[in-house]
Structure 1
Amino acid sequence: MHDIQLSGSMGRFITRIEAAEIYLRCHVATVDRYVAEGVLPKYKFGRKTLFLLEDVLKLVIRADVPDTGSSGSSRLPRRGRASSQALPVVLETLVFVVMAVVLLVRFIMLHY
């Protein structure tokens, strides 16, 4: 994309859209919220706002991204879409069998 490589120890910079869509897999407004909360540092180069790839990757690995949407003291850490857990295999199988039986019963009822 539009990667900017500066010489020195700073590292590789990426844009706000790249941070959101490619690395964090979230909406750009979420990246703005992380910046406002101080979770993700930004760097300004003229009119361009960039992020260190290293900082974005640290945010991907973190499990304790602040949850500003809900209230309550016993909040679970937010992890994003990429780490949401799927249904256990047994439950998936059970749902599939129930749906198959329901469809079979409807088929039989329609044809008799």
Structure 2
Amino acid sequence: MHGTDISVPKGLFVTRTEAAEIHLRCHVKTIDRYVAAGRLPKYKFGRKTLFLLADVLALIKCVGVLPPTSGRGRACAPFLSLDMVTFIALSVATLWITFFLFH
């Protein structure tokens, strides 16, 4: 054409709404924040702004979440670990013993 090399990335493209609601399950404004922070590149096609699906999926991180204990969702997951419960019980027992010894 005019000696310019226009390279279009290859892959599936998604809209801002699709990226937010379907793939990342976040608010559309969160997508705007990712773009502003430089974490998500955008591609303009005329007036349309699209995102590569691979770039959107690269934002998903694997975080360590404890599995539910009874299979009934997060509401049934243990609130405190066994170590924390033991620590609290020993602390309360120490406080009671100290209170009774000095009064």
**TM-score relative to the length of structure 1:** 0.50
The amino acid across from 2:55 in the alignment is D
Where in structure 2 are the equivalents of 1:12-91 lying within 5 Å?
Answer: 12-61=12-61, 86=74, 89-91=77-79
Count matched residues: 66
Regions of 4+ moved over 3 Å: 83-91
Pairwise CA distance, 1:89: 3.6
Question: Structure 1's 50 and 34: CA in aligned 2 closer, same or farther, altered over 3 A?
Answer: same
Residues 35 and 90 (structure 1 numbering): CA distance in 2 closer, same or farther, change over 3 Å?
A: closer
- Percent of paired sites with the same residue: 60
CA-atom RMSD in angstroms: 2.8
Which secondary structure state, in structure 2, belongs to the residue aligned with residue 50 of structure 1?
strand
Q: Which runs of 5+ in 1 are unaligned?
A: 1-7, 64-78, 92-112
C-alpha distance in structure 2 between counterparts of 1:38 and 1:90, whole Å: 37
Take 1:9 and 1:50, find their aligned partners in 2: how far apart are those partners?
11
**C-alpha separation between the residues in 1 aligned to 2:39 and 2:9?**
21
Structure 2 CA distance for aligned equivalents of residues 26 and 87 of structure 1: 21
CA change 1:48–1:87 in 2 (3 A) is: same
Indicate the residue corresponding to 1:99 in structure 2. Answer: none
Larger C-alpha radius of gyration, 1 or 2?
A: 2
CA shift for structure 1 position 10: 1.0
TM-score, length-normalised on structure 2?
0.54
Note the alpha carbon deviations across 1:26-79, whole angstroms, 9 max, x for none. 000000000000000000000000000000011113x6xxxxxxxxxxxxxxx6
